[in-house]
Structure 1
Amino acid sequence: MKLASMQQGRDGRLVVVSRDLSRAVPADGIAPTLQAALDYWAETEPALQALYQQLNQGNGTDSFPFEQAACASPLPRAYQWADGSAYVNHVELVRKARGAEMPASFWTDPLMYQGMSDGFIGPRDDIRLAEESWGIDFEGEIAVITDDVPMGTPAERAGSHIKLLMLVNDVSLRNLIPNELAKGFGFFQSKPASSFSPVAITPDELGDAWQDTRVHHRLRVHLNDELFGEPDAGTDMTFNFAQLIAHVSFSRALCAGTIIGSGTVSNTDRSTGSCCLAERRMLEIIAQGKASTPFMRFGDRVRIEMLDAQGQSLFGAIEQKVVKYEAL
């Protein structure tokens, strides 16, 4: 099943989207918003699935052409957004570039931070930031949305709480990160609003590509229309989504609509490219002693998308331009 939120009010208007992303139908009679559907998922999911089947069979009488540009993020705001760093080879690379040893615990205990969740950027909206000097970067990731997760849920049971998946652009301000981390209290100013794909999908839409709560497809990232990277999201994911959920729920219960991110998708095979500028810059530092790839400038554009085995877009595409923020 594929779901989207059309831009309307603060929380969007829930629609069911056809498998080929060509048409959509309102879900008003089932749930007005995605959060409302997730709050009562056991009741709403069968009705949404039935509407999805009708739409794919051409029986959606109220259907209309689906426009990705008219979408908000599937959850325009969420109760919780926790982002991990499940691709530990990416972390190791960043630390190696600055000559720092990586603690052994990073391979056994996931990194996680709690990000801004009270308002996400739409998948086709501009990224508005005040200064290029902040070191503007994109990060191509995958995220899951859960239902209610009890505190202390172990990894072997956590996978059953994954209800939907999305793509992510976790916007990062790289030049603000060092001073924040030096305080020993984590990210804040260096992590502005993130964005998510136009469509959220249920795991069954992935077929055999959904194994061990990992997505086994390539994540394609383009910068200014040039392919920047296409690593396989399942190959080098040290911690799967079940393990990330278990980590987040260790000492707290998670409410329905919690979003948990994978961190930057990365492969040890460097020929697949990168999903963020920081990784390419670290590779340049290791190879040449300095970085030559600049961070994003005003006017730069990023596109993040995942295709299935037949070359069809699974989630729609995040397409965004960085523009200068002008205070009102």
Structure 2
Amino acid sequence: MKLATYRDGSRDGQLVVVSRDLSQACFATGIATRLQQVLDDWNFMAPQLESLSQSLNQGRARHAFSFDPRQCLAPLPRPAAWLAGEAYPAHGAELRERGVPVPERLSGPLIRMGGAETLLGPNDTPLLRGVPGLEPEPQLAVVLGDLPADAVPSQALDAVRLLMAVNAWVLRPVQQEELAQGWPALHSRPALQCAPVAITPEELPGAWYLGRAALQIQMHRNGRKQPLLETKEGMAWSFGDLIAEAARRRPLRAGTLVGAGMPAGAAPMTLKDGDSLRIDFKMAEGGSPFGAIDMDLAESTATQDEGADAADAGDASNVLDDARDARDASEADERNATEREPHEGETSEGETSDPGADASDVTDPQADDRGVNQSDAVAVDPTAPGPAPKAAARPPRRKAGKPPAPEGDQ
């Protein structure tokens, strides 16, 4: 199945199920509203989402609508952690040739803690305009379920729930300074950008095997095609190895995001203000399983704080309203179908014992205990013919603790 997160004004967005060809989507209303909910209770919720996905792909899903990647946040806007692995030693060698002191480790994969607080959607502009040395590092990543510490690679692979296509932005000059000082990357890794759709490994038949995916990364800078990158070629360590290394001394929580690093073979690409970049992960037969990352450094950064333009936001709002109306109608049907027990003072049909009684004329049974005389209520003669007479004026209610004055004194 394929999942995405639509903007709805909240931090976590609204979970949607996306069709295999990325043309249609429907909200996962009634199952989950956020992807993190699904990851926390995967065995219960994933089969329900899979059933909805099958209905959507067969054209039988209710309230389906056209999928618009421009309305997407990152599929998992707030992951538990972002662990950046380096599974491609040749890419590290390329950086060292450029003077970047990237550490080298031959006995196992390198992995570091990245910043999980800034995940961008596929069309968001990084808030880095005017910053020199901005380079993309596209890579494949996996989303995990709960994993105990000291897991072996095969056990680690069993914890993989979803695959994602991401781009780790890097400020290369700042990275050189941080690595030269021996400090971990902080300022040099400002943001992680995500393709709109996260997929289960079953969506890559034949391309996902033993923790490696055979995909091609196609980049276009200002409309010009860049050399293809192969995700399987040169991947010295599988995702099972990367995840097991990350969990060697501590457990990993559901929602942890683990990246494999950028494959080797890309020419150095430093973006400037006004540049555009499109990143798409392709299957051998040409399909785009994740959708594309498509951003433009010429856009106003203020636009990204508010999502897409007003028209697109209005379309998303209308779709959300339709889905919420359907959810509310379904919940109302469920409530009406359930027999309601009568409350105290109601008959079995749900009516009060005296539906015509005015609330202000009902005597408080505990009034005497509070010092309130029940003569304050308007008395009605039950033997009088016709409608009960109304008092011309109601005397003011006495304060508790003060008995009413005798009638002769009134």
Could you tell me the TM-score, scaled by structure 2's length?
Answer: 0.70
More strand by share: 1
Give per-residue Cα distances to partners, 1:18-57, cap 9 Å, x unaligned: 0000000101211110011101011110000000000001
How high is the sequence identity, in percent, across the aligned residues?
37
Give the distance between the partners of 1:113 and 1:214, measured in 2 at CA.
20
Instruction: Write the letter of the residue equivalent to 2:7.
Output: Q
Q: Per-residue deviation at 1:307? A: 2.1
Give the distance between the partners of 1:198 and 1:100, measured in 2 at CA.
33
What does residue 31 of structure 2 align with?
A: 30
Give the distance between the partners of 2:219 and 2:100, measured in 1 at CA.
28
Instruction: Write the letter of the residue equivalent to 2:45.
Output: T
**Which range moved further: 227-236 or 164-173?**
227-236
> Is residue 188 from structure 1 mapped to residue 186 from structure 2 by the alignment?
yes
> Is residue 4 from structure 1 mapped to residue 4 from structure 2 by the alignment?
yes
Superposed, 1:1-328 pairs within 5 Å as 1-8=1-8, 9-98=10-99, 103=104, 106-133=105-132, 135-266=133-264, 270=265, 274=266, 280-281=267-268, 295-323=270-298
Does the 8 Å contact 1:107/1:238 carry over to 2? Answer: no
What does residue 320 of structure 2 align with?
A: none
Does the 8 Å contact 2:101/2:179 carry over to 1? Answer: no
Could you tell me the TM-score, scaled by structure 1's length?
Answer: 0.87
Give the distance between the partners of 1:182 and 1:96, measured in 2 at CA.
15
Q: Cα gap change, 1:72/1:99 in structure 2, threshold over 3 Å: closer, same or farther?
A: closer
Give the distance between the partners of 2:100 and 2:69, measured in 1 at CA.
43
Which entry has the higher C-alpha Rg, 1 or 2? Answer: 2
Instruction: Write the letter of the residue equivalent to 2:180.
Output: A
Unaligned runs of 5+ in 1: 275-279, 282-292
Q: Cα gap change, 1:189/1:304 in structure 2, threshold over 3 Å: closer, same or farther?
A: same
Q: Cα gap change, 1:235/1:66 in structure 2, threshold over 3 Å: closer, same or farther?
A: same
Give per-residue Cα distances to partners, 1:193-244, cap 9 Å, x unaligned: 1111100000011001101211112111111111112121112111110100
Give per-residue Cα distances to partners, 1:142-166, cap 9 Å, x unaligned: 0000000101101122111111001
Instruction: Write the letter of the residue equivalent to 2:88.
Output: Y
Give the distance between the partners of 1:217 and 1:119, measured in 2 at CA.
26
Tell me the secondary structure at the aligned position of residue 107 of structure 1.
Answer: coil
Q: CA RMSD in A?
A: 1.8
Does the 8 Å contact 2:139/2:165 carry over to 1? Answer: yes
Q: Per-residue deviation at 1:185? A: 2.1
Q: Per-residue deviation at 1:90? A: 0.6
**Which range moved further: 220-229 or 25-34?**
220-229
Does the 8 Å contact 1:5/1:74 carry over to 2? Answer: yes
Does the 8 Å contact 1:15/1:26 carry over to 2? Answer: yes
Give the distance between the partners of 2:102 and 2:297, measured in 1 at CA.
34
Instruction: Write the letter of the residue equivalent to 1:3.
Output: L
Instruction: Write the letter of the residue equivalent to 2:110.
Output: L
Q: Per-residue deviation at 1:127? A: 1.5
Q: Cα gap change, 1:150/1:298 in structure 2, threshold over 3 Å: closer, same or farther?
A: same
User: What is the aligned residue count?
Assistant: 301
Q: Cα gap change, 1:99/1:226 in structure 2, threshold over 3 Å: closer, same or farther?
A: closer
Give the distance between the partners of 2:277 and 2:198, measured in 1 at CA.
20
Unaligned runs of 5+ in 2: 306-410
